[in-house]
Structure 1
Amino acid sequence: MTATTAPAPLTVQDAEALLTAARAEADAAGVAVAITVLDAGGHPLAFRRDDRAVLIAGETSTRKAYTALQLNAPTADLVDLVKPDGPFHSLTTALDRPLLFIAGGVPVHRDGRLVGAIGVGGGAPEQDHAFASAAVATLV
């Protein structure tokens, strides 16, 4: 029998590194965003909204992160699945806590296991996805 060890959880330091990396990407593109990082339990570890970001960006970044976490998939990959003719069209209203199927949420894995998620809101969906993905790619 082999013992399996759980991956190290996402730490506050990891969350701050993700936030910093996503913000650097957004700043380089000249886009004002909000960024949310959640741990594996869906609890916030880091949040930041640029002064110039639209107010709703804070809510969308959090919901994107939550959606990516709950479904263990980038929200960009889920958009077509929840359209009215998609196989999971009812998923948008299936839970008490609303999911948000707009690109910009990306799960965070460590040693192949889900340890959290990042959500970015405020830019175009493709930009938000790129900023979040770039941040996750920097986490070691």
Structure 2
Amino acid sequence: MSTTTTAPLTVTDAETLILAARRAADAAGVPASITVLDAGGNLLAFRRDERAVLISGETSTAKAYTALQLNAPTADLVDLVKPDGPFHSLPTALNKPLLFIAGGVPIRRDGQLIGALGLGGGAPEQDHAFATAALKELG
């Protein structure tokens, strides 16, 4: 019987994601905060542009955490927490930093969830675009 193990997210992977997200945000002129979490929700890397609003550090981390916990881009979850959505009470039901604003994406390798990336500082659509652009760099 053969067992294949998916390689975990590494610090080198996290640095690649930070640099790629930073390039995307810088190209758009958006000062951003970038968070990379491993599969256990632990902080692997973080970068905040010194011009980014302070709260963007918290939002980038909460977006990454939400994408990790629900294994879905936060952009896909926004409608689920609206008053008529099935997850309406989820943001207040848990004592966790869930944030249903676009900008968080799960990181997968060989189809397995290995972490999450979160961006904060731009408009939600921009943060999502920067995160997805960075994922492409990871390969």
SS at match of 1:136: helix
Q: Output the TM-score relative to the length of structure 2.
A: 0.98
Distance, in Å, in 2 between the alignment partners of 1:128 and 1:20 is 14
Distance, in Å, in 1 between the alignment partners of 2:93 and 2:2 is 37
Are 2:114 and 1:110 aligned? no
Distance, in Å, in 1 between the alignment partners of 2:8 and 2:20 is 19
SS at match of 1:23: helix
The letter for the 2-side match of 1:55 is L
Distance, in Å, in 2 between the alignment partners of 1:61 and 1:67 is 10
* Within-5 A mapping of 1:1-140: 2-140=1-139
The letter for the 1-side match of 2:98 is L
Q: CA deviation at 1:97?
A: 1.1
Distance, in Å, in 1 between the alignment partners of 2:86 and 2:3 is 35
Distance, in Å, in 1 between the alignment partners of 2:39 and 2:93 is 21
**Structure 1: runs of 5+ lacking an equivalent:** none
Distance, in Å, in 2 between the alignment partners of 1:96 and 1:4 is 36
Distance, in Å, in 1 between the alignment partners of 2:3 and 2:133 is 29
Q: Output the TM-score relative to the length of structure 1.
A: 0.97
SS at match of 1:51: coil
Which digits, 9 at most, give the CA deviation of each residue in 1:60-114, with x for residues without a partner? 0000000000000000000000111101101111221120000000000000000
**Structure 2: runs of 5+ lacking an equivalent:** none
SS at match of 2:8: coil
RMSD: 0.7
Distance, in Å, in 1 between the alignment partners of 2:53 and 2:10 is 28
Distance, in Å, in 2 between the alignment partners of 1:62 and 1:30 is 21
Q: CA deviation at 1:23?
A: 0.3
Show structure 1 runs of 4+ deviating over 6 A.
none
